[in-house]
Each structure stands twice: as C-alpha cells, then as structure tokens.
Structure 1
Amino acid sequence: MDQACYISAYFSPYLKSTGSQASTRKRISIWADKDNHELIKSQSRAEKLCRWVYGRRSPRMTASSSSTLTTDRAIPPVPSFTPNETTVDDLWKQIEIHSSVATAAKSNLMNSTEVRLSPVPPPHLPVYLSQKTKNMKFPKGFKYGVASSAPQIEGAAKEDGKGPSVWDYGPHVYPKMYTGTIDITDDFYHKYKNDLARLKAMGVNTFMLSIAWTRIYPLGSGTVNELGLAFYDKVVDEAIKNNIEPVITLFHWDTPLALSAHYGSWVSPKIIKDYNRYTETVFRRFGDRVKMWITFNEPSGFCSQLSLIPHNLTFPEGINVKNAPYHCAHNVLVAHGTAVRTYRKLIKERVVAAGQIGMKSDEYKPTPWSDSKEDKEASDRYVDFRIGIFAKPIFVDGDYPTSCKQTLGDLLPPLTRKEQKLIKGSADFYAQDLYRVNHAKAAPNGIKACMGNLSDPNWPICRDERPQYIISTPGNWTYGQQADLSAPQLVNSWFALRDQLEYLTKAFPSKGGIYISEFGWAEVFENTRTELYQIVSDYGRESYFMDYLNEFLLAIHEDKIDLRGIFAWGVYDNYEWLAGVTGRYGLQYVNFTDPALPRHFKRSFYAIRNVMQHHLEAEDFNL
C-alpha cells in the first residue's frame, strides 16, 4: 500500500498541472513492475505519511493505483464548487458522470428487532481463559462497547438529502484505486433497529457511532438538512431504548466534498468555522441524550490523506504535499478546541446535559529494537509524530512536541498563545485506538542525518521503515501472532499492552481516565473462506480479544490504570477504506453478496459476551 500512496502523491503535481486536458505525456513509466530493493531517491515524504492511514488495514494496491494514473488522459476534473450557486445535486451529478450511486435492496431486516442467539458455539471447542483474572471485575460503570463509523456502515449515500463526502467521490471517480464504494456498505441507515437489537443480545452497553457531516449540512455549511437530524434522532432513541449508551464521533474522515472543492478542506483555516457550526448544531440536537462525544477520529490518519489524490487537487495557494498534513494538524487542533469550548458553554448555559468530550488518538509507543540510545530516540520520535503532535497540546502544555518543531520547521504552522490556551485542557478523557504494538529502529544513516534530509525515505520520524525492523524481532521472529496479510503490521501485542497503558496515562494524564476506543483483528484468510461455519469460526480473533481483555483486567487491578471502557472494532464486517468490504474486522459476518445483507455472530463475539458477563458488575451487562 505504501507504493500506491507514493505513486498517487508523487505524480499528482504533474497531473494537476494538466487539469482535465489530455496530458502531453501520454504515459508515465512506473519503476518497477516487479519488487526490487532500489531506493527511489526522489521519494516524497508523503509516502511515509500514507502509513498513518493505511498501514493497519489495507492491502497492497500499487498495481491498481499506477494503472489508474497511467492512462492516455490525465485525472478527471476537480469537482467544481461555487458558493451560493452549486447545489447538492450538482455535486452528485459530477460523481455520477463516472458511475451511478447504488441503492440497497429492501429486506426483512429493516425493522426487525427479533434476535436469536442460538446455536451458540459448542462447549467442547477451546476457550481462552486466565486463572489469574477469573475473579477480577471491571469497575462499576465500565463501558463494554463496539465501534463503527458512518461512512463505513451507513450506506444510503444520496438518501434524504445527504451530500457527498470525499469518500463518496473517490471510489466513483478513481475506481481502480479503491475496492468498491460506500453507496450501500452494511445499510445501517435502514437496518439500525435490527443492528441495535443484536448488540443488546450480546450484552453490549455502549455503541460508538459517527455522524455524517453531509447528512446534517449537505454542502458542509449553509442550510441544515432536517431529515439527516431526524435519522440520528431515531438512532439515538433506539439505542437508549435498548439500554445502549450512544457515544458519538463528530468526524470520522468523511470530509464534505463541497468544502474540499471550495477551499481545500482541512488545509484551510476556513474549515474551523464550518466545523464549529456543524458541531454546535449536533450538540444542540442530541446533547440532551448523548453524554460522551469524540471530536475527531484518528486525525493523524486523515491528515495524511491530504497528500493524496483527490484531496491534493484542491490545495489553495501555498499548500503542497509537503506541508498539507501539518496545516491539517494545526487546523484540527484549533477546530477541536473551538468545538470543546462551544460544548462546555452549552453545558454551562444548560442548553445540553452535562457530559464528556475528547479526541481519539491512534498508534502506539514502539518497543525499541535494541537498548541503543538511537533506537530509544526513534521510539520517542514515533510517539511525538503519531500521537504527541495532537495529544501533547491537549493534555500537557498546549504546544507541539519539540522534535516535531525542530524537524518540520516552517512546514508546521505554529500555535499562537491564544490557540495554545484554547487547546490545552480541551479533553475530559484520553481515548486511544490500540490495535497493536511494533518495533522502532533508528534510520540506517542515523537520526541526525535523517532529520536534515527531506528526501530520506524515513523522514520525518526517522524510524527505519523496512518491515523486518517493524514487525519482527532481532532474532528474526514476528513480534507477535500475525494477522491476515491484508494488515501486514497488525500483530497480537497482548504482552505489551500494560506497558502501553502505563506510558500513555503518564505521558497524557487525564482526570477522566483512559478508554481503548478501538481494537480489533483481521482473521487470517477470512475473506477467502466460503462456508458459513468456516467464516464464523474465527479462532484467531477470539484469541486476540481474550488476550487483550485479560491484560486490561490486569492493568486495572495490578497496575491501577484508570481504564473506564473498551470499544471493539467492529460492530460487523464493513467498508474498510481502500480494501472495501474485503477487509474483514467484524464481530459479525455480513454476506455482501446477498442483497439482504444478513448478519451472523462470529465465535469471537460470543466469547467476548461470555467474558464481559462474568467480569462486569451485574448492572453493567445489558440483559
């Protein structure tokens, strides 16, 4: 996937210069059509940033990407947008020039709330239990949750006035760079009643969902879409009816296409005002019932996307693939701080009920490859660039990590004193997506040399990015049990979790405790299995979750970590970004070849249910 990201980012300046006209260079040769070990000296820093988004979940897709970019014509025209003139229909027409937006078939799941748990896995099959934790309990009020996002599960892309996001646009306009569209996905939009009833049947007490910005403001700003608000009203009420607490993520990567076309979305400070207007609308509508909010999901992930097609085709003057991710980081932090200030003001004015708000980080603190000073520094730098660039301003002192400022220089817009004051303390809890832990080894030429060389393939973090130094050990073993090859860096890292939690709670302290806001597993060869009994027998995923839950209990009781909840990814198989529906992380199997999209509980979900029923306080298990 790294080569695909590189090709998209590297050639975009050439493609952009041609606009919609046929390129004077009929073809661009891609070196090479087979793997080799030659370093491309002119490599853009965007290649490494791509790993922020796609390193965990997506398959390698270089061939399809390069075939998209080496056609006889340049890339399709940039979506046009004129304020006060362009309509939602205009934007959808620009998408459907390339392919029609699909709609879901009606099925008997749409309004069904009947859920049967039988047949459960047979008792003679192995289970993964720890004698050490058998009598330990999660603290009272612990959130046993599953997670999802609007673009990955909702479907109903054009329904009820919804506007297009960049994730509606990309798969239709660049089909060879994506695996399918988000037109239908799991059709949660029509099947939410059945889906929430199924979660209740598994004892889940909390559901993390996101709101699609373009359902509320189809053009990102302007007129509110009442039908969009009404849909989420129904979802929130149905969740509460099932004794499930809704936790809402306000932004999960689905940037309104109109804002991208208008001013470049997250690289422009203009988005701060539009985001705040959107979030205030949502707070006011649902704040009487929703008590926990996430402003941004994994901002390091979507900020890195801005180096890539189609996002980089709408850059305003002064923005390029080198500085775009860092202008995004700056604007996200200010937008986050502004939204939190608005939310707290609404609480103070008693417009909404008292609640909590924060941001979701991702990644991890790498284990140094060796005891050398440089490898330890590489580990620290990884945290600074992947987590600290957002978490340190919020939880520590309002400013970026020193290593980021020293390495990036004027590529990273400084935070003013006013902005630092706004951002510092702008979270009531710390939330971390913690799928795995890997290694960190210093760049081959040393960190100091790497820092000063923007063409170094390991810049700006200056960790050696060769896979053997990330997912293997010095003894040439994998760092942990490896997941499906579609997720090459995902390993079962149970043995490192307690150290991770201890580090994160000390580095980014929060009075509201810590939440594991996502963790999940790509079962080996699951997407190639054809029989239902094979698909739902996900022993690797079960082992992963049992290992992690065991370590979470030990962290709470032996390390005194203030862990207040966990959210398993995902509620069911869904659209996993570039991998489409072929990337399977779900606790439920969804048959995407059946128009009815039937759901089936996997063995791992039963195992989680059994463990949580035993280890939660009785009132916290949703019976």
Structure 2
Amino acid sequence: MKDGDQMLWGSATAAYQCEGAWQEDGKGPSIWDDFVHSDKNTKGITADTACDFYHHFEEDIRMLAEGGQNTFRFSISWSRIFPRDDGVVNQAGVDFYQHVLDICEKYQVVPNVTLLHYDLPSYIGAEGWEKRETMAKFAAYCKRCFEIFGDRIPYYATINEPNHNSYCSYLVGNYPPNHVGDVQNLVKVCYHNMVANAMAVREFRKLNLNAKIGIVNSGASRADILKDTPEYREAKRYANMLFHGWLIGAAVLGKFPEGLGETLHKLGVDLSFVRQEDLDLIKEYTVDWIGDNIYARKLVKPYEFGETQMVVNNDPRQSQALEGVTVKGLFQPDIDPTTRKNPWGREIYPKCGYDALIRLRDEYNNVPVFVTENGHGMFEERSESGEINDSERIAFLEEYLDYFAKAKEDGCNLQGYYVWSTMDLYSWINGYEKRYGLVHVDYANHCQRIPKKSYYWYRDYIAFQKKK
C-alpha cells in the first residue's frame, strides 16, 4: 500500500478488554462486569485488571508510536463517563480519556474512538437494546462525548459490531444478557442499534465538528459459497442480507436491504416495533465512513437441518464445533476442507479481505473504509530468552495485507488499517489464553510489556510502505 494519501497504520483495543480499573475513580459497572462476577461466568475469569491499560496507557501509546504506528483505535467506557442513570458526568472518567488523548497528541498518534464496544452500563438493565429507551440514552451519552472531546477525536465510531454482538447476546447467549435462541428479540436489538446509530449521528451533525463519524461492521461484509448453483446463490443472498446488509445498508445508504422485511416475516418475526419515524431518521443521518473488522469469511450453503442458531468455539481444547450461523429454512454454515484453520476452528482465508473491500466499493458508493480489526489469535509461550516468536501471526498479517493492498489499488477507498490488537488483552470469554497482541503482556508480573516478533515486523512493514 502507498502512503501518499495519508494512509493510517495502527492497532486497536477496546475499553473493557484492556482498561481494568473496573471500580476506580468513580467508574460504574457494565453488563460485562455483572456477567463475569455472576455464576453465568463458568470460567471464573474477569477483566477486573485485564492488561491494566488504565495505568499503562502512556507506555502503550509510546510503544505503539515507536513501532511506527500513527493511529490508535480504542473505545470509551460509557459507565466510566456516566456511572449512574442520572445524566451526571463523572469528571474523573473524562479526565482519564483526556489524558489518553494528550498522550496521543504527544506522540502524534491519530485517535480513532469507538463510543460503545459491547460494554453497556449495568443500569441499562438485562433487556439492554430490546428497549427503545436505550436508544435515547445512548444518543445522550454520545452527545456529551461529542461536546466534551470535540475535534480532539478526528474519527468517532458509534457502535462496534452491532451484528456480532447482537448474535452473541441474543442467539448464542454467551455474551450478556445471555439470551439463547431469541430470534424475535435479536431482530429488535439489531434494529434498535441502527436507529440509535442514526440518533447519535444526528447529535454529531448538530455540532458541525471537523471530525468524521462512522460505525464498525463485523467481518468481511460478504458471505461466500463453494458451489455456483441457484440454491447456493440463494443461500448467499440471504446470508449477506442477514449478516451484514441490514447494518451497512442502514448506516451507509440510509435504508435496509430490499426484501429484508419479507424475509423476516418468513422467519416468523413480528415487525410491529418498526416505526416510520425511525426509518426517516436512518434515511437522513448516515455515516461518513465504515469500519470493517476482517478475520474470516462467512461460508454458507443451502439449509439442510437444525434450528436457527449461532455456534462459536470459545474453548478449542474441549470443542471441535463448526462456527457459523444457521437460519432455519434459509442457510447454514459450510466448511472448506482445503483451507487452513486456527486453533479455534476459524478459517484463514486472506482473500476474504479483498472481497469485503471490493463489495464496499461496488455496492456502497465506495464509502471511505477502515479495516478496524485484523488479527490472529494464538496460544503463545515465551522462550527461555524471554522472546515471543509469533511468526504464524506475521504470516497471517502479511497475507491479508497483500489483499488489502490489492483492493486499494483496485479503487477501494481504504483509509487505514488496524491490527487487533495493540497488546495482549482480555479476549471476552476466551479469557487470556487467546492472545492477539503485537506486544506480550506478562499478567503474572505486573502486566509487564514485551514486544513480540510481530511488533518489529509491523514496524518495518509500515516503514517500507511509507518509502514507496
């Protein structure tokens, strides 16, 4: 990739996964705090400390900058800004993020900040995004963030992965509020997320900031099939509509995909919660950019059997589960026996990155796009000399980056790229064994930071791209 058009090169984190300090300086609890401290958390692992970014942020941003990165993606904890449901801002929480922005400025690192990355405040309640009131509360929280931080943040994202988070929370039940197979509420939650996004964008537009606002999509933006038959193509059409089309269509084009309502009626979903005023809002308030978290393709085939469900493998030492979504009557996951898989059964298919970006180019008006996450989870151990040789991660990143470069050369409006993740962190219910970081965190030794081989490789890769 060429850097002549100000390509941003960075890495990414999320508040709950890295900050720790879960009860410090007036922070209120989030639904994840509630979940990990409950008997629903069968692994007993929490993010109370995580990698302690709250106390290491200057070190982390300095290391990021020394690694050649010129941008940092992180998220704000809603319950650190508004710890209670009374609209009163926690100044200590604001001060923390202002300090993070100060350090970004010190090291000339561009902040890309997500306002909600899974961690709803506890006071929103177990119903979460099922309630219309949550949309207004979210918009009010965003409004205060826009007012407080203004143009100090040049790139805002409203919500991270409404699609993946909603599926995990309302279909699998492995994320709070842990609802299993609740298709009716799953659809309502997805819809409320997109209305809330439009409401937040409306608040953003009122301030006439020089910043840009976007939303982050989960995963490759495009379903794929192994056979070119009418049945497989129909399965692909449904999968694209239900995986990503509703999110990107609403956020970028201001409308849901054609045929979505008919498809949902076919699935028995009652759409009486849809309001014309919401659709008008979505039509008027679209985003400036889209983020795509690209890891693997969504491989599907025509429906054969089973109930509507999403399967994830959070414990590869005990499960060989085939990850993917089944929608009864429409499609189900497929598997390509010829491709590599990571230890969690996730396919390693770098071309999906090219396909995702080209789809955004062709079907969504070549909207400006950031690859907001791309990375490789591994079990890792330090050598006797203390080094972490993650050559497998380097190979993964290099292959994907080649396809992202090709998409940019072929006209995709790619603005930036972020490795997931800046350092090792809490990987949701995968805990701490599943490591993604460019920097190793020694959790048993005061969260000591140790750059991995991939950290130095990425530094050299960025330097090479800038010389082109």
TM-score by length of 1: 0.68
Alignment of 1:359 onto 2:215: yes
- The structure 1 residue matched to 2:402, chosen from 539, 550, 553, is 550
**Structure 2 residue aligned with 1:289:** 152
Query: How far apart in 1 are the matches of 2:175 and 2:295?
Result: 28
Distance 1:499 1:139, change over 3 A: farther
**Cα distance, 1:464 vs structure 2:** 2.6
Helix, strand or coil at the partner of 1:432:
strand
SS in 2 for 1:287: helix
Asked if 2 retains the 8 angstrom alpha-carbon contact of 1:251 and 1:297, the reply is yes
Q: Which residue of 1 aligns with 2:315?
A: none
CA contact (8 A) 1:145 1:208 kept: yes
Secondary structure of 1:616's aligned partner? helix
> Could you say which residue in structure 2 is the equivalent of 1:584?
435
Aligned equivalents of 2:419, 2:348: Cα separation in 1? 14
Cα offset, 1:607, TM superposition: 1.3
The answer to whether structure 1 residue 396 and structure 2 residue 253 are counterparts is yes
- Contact 1:515–1:563 (Cα < 8 Å) also in 2: yes
1:461 and 1:254 map into 2 onto residues whose CA distance is 33
Q: Match of 2:455?
A: 605
CA contact (8 A) 1:177 1:578 kept: no
| More divergent stretch after superposition (200-209 vs 137-146) | 137-146
Give 1:395 shift: 2.2
Greater shift in the superposed pair: 237-246 or 220-229: 220-229
Partner of 2:264: 405
Question: Which of 425, 428, 432 is matched with 2:288 structurally?
Answer: 428
**CA, structure 1 residues 187+396, in 2 after alignment: closer, same or farther (shift >3 Å)?**
same
| Equivalent position amino acid for 2:389 in 1 | S
Any conservation in 2 of the 1:428–1:510 contact (CA below 8 Å)? no
Aligned residues: 448
Structure 2 CA distance for aligned equivalents of residues 588 and 336 of structure 1? 33
1:460 deviation in Å? 4.6
Match 1:418 to one of 277, 290, 307: 277
Are the equivalent residues in 2 in contact too, given 1:139–1:617 (CA < 8 A)? Answer: no
Letter matched to residue 300 of structure 2:
A
Match of 1:345 among 178, 183, 206: 206
Q: What displacement does 1:299 show?
A: 0.5
Q: Are 2:431 and 1:574 aligned?
A: no
* Pairing 1:219-238 to 2, within 5 Å after superposition: 219-238=84-103
Alignment of 1:2-401 (within 5 A): 137-174=2-39, 176-261=41-126, 264-307=127-170, 308=173, 311-312=176-177, 321-347=182-208, 353-364=209-220, 365-401=222-258
For the residues of structure 2 that align with 1:430 and 1:421, how far apart are their CA atoms?
A: 20
CA distance in 2, matches of 1:219, 1:387: 33
> What's 1:561 paired with?
412
Taking the aligned partners of 1:376 and 1:534, their CA distance within structure 2 comes to: 50
Question: Per-residue displacement from partner, 1:27-56 (whole Å, max 9, x unpaired)?
Answer: xxxxxxxxxxxxxxxxxxxxxxxxxxxxxx
| Secondary structure at the counterpart of residue 202 of structure 2 | helix
CA shift in 2, pair 1:455/1:432, >3 Å:
closer
User: Match for 1:538 among 377, 383, 390?
Assistant: 390
Partner of 1:9: none
Residue 222 to residue 495, structure 1, CA distance change in 2 (3 Å): closer
**Inter-CA distance 188–509: structure 2 relative to 1 (3 Å threshold):** same
Shift of the 220–206 alpha-carbon distance from structure 1 to 2, 3 Å rule, reads farther
Structure 1 residue 519 and structure 2 residue 374: aligned?
yes
Rounded Cα–Cα distance in structure 2 between residues aligned with 1:207 and 1:532: 31
Which structure 2 residue ranges, 5 or more long, are not aligned? 311-324
| C-alpha distance in structure 2 between counterparts of 1:310 and 1:492, whole Å | 24
Q: CA deviation at 1:361?
A: 0.4
Contact 2:101 2:111 in 1 (8 A): yes
The answer for the alignment partner of 2:301 in structure 1 is 441
Equivalents in 2 of 1:139, 1:444: separation in Å? 50
Quick check: 1:459 aligned with 2:327? yes
Give the share of equivalent positions with the same residue, in percent. 27
**Structure 2 vs 1, CA of residues 464 and 326 (structure 1 numbering), >3 Å: closer, same or farther?**
closer
Aligned to 1:493: 349
Q: Distance in 2 between matches of 1:287 and 1:177?
A: 41
Name the counterpart of 2:321.
Answer: none
Whole-angstrom distance in 2 between the partners of 1:410 and 1:155: 39
In 1, are the aligned partners of 2:251 and 2:282 still within 8 Å (CA)? yes
Query: What secondary structure sits across from 2:234 in the alignment?
Result: helix
Q: What is the alpha-carbon distance in structure 1 between the residues aligned to residue 431 and residue 189 of structure 2? A: 25
8 Å CA contact retained: 2:294, 2:374:
yes
Q: 1:254 to 1:572 in 2, by over 3 A?
A: same
**Structure 1 counterpart of 2:190, one-letter code:** A
- Measured at CA, do residues 384 and 238 of structure 1 come closer, stay the same or move farther in structure 2, by a change above 3 Å? same
Whole-Å Cα distance in 1 between the matches of residues 417 and 308 of structure 2? 39
- Let me know the Cα RMSD of the aligned residues: 2.5
Residues 391 and 398 of structure 1: CA distance in aligned 2, closer, same or farther (over 3 Å): same
Question: Using a 3 Å threshold, how does the CA distance of structure 1 residues 325 and 455 change in structure 2: closer, same or farther?
Answer: closer
1:428-454 C-alpha deviation (Å, 9 max, x unpaired) = 012111111242211126xxxx8xx86
Q: How far apart are the structure 2 equivalents of 1:499 and 1:334?
A: 28
SS at structure 2 position matched to 1:589: strand
Matched, 1:503 2:350: no
**Which ranges in structure 1 are unaligned for 5 or more consecutive residues?**
1-135, 348-352, 619-623
CA distance in 1: counterparts of 2:352 and 2:326, whole angstroms: 24
Q: Distance in 2 between matches of 1:506 and 1:616?
A: 28
| 3-state SS of paired residue (1:354) | coil
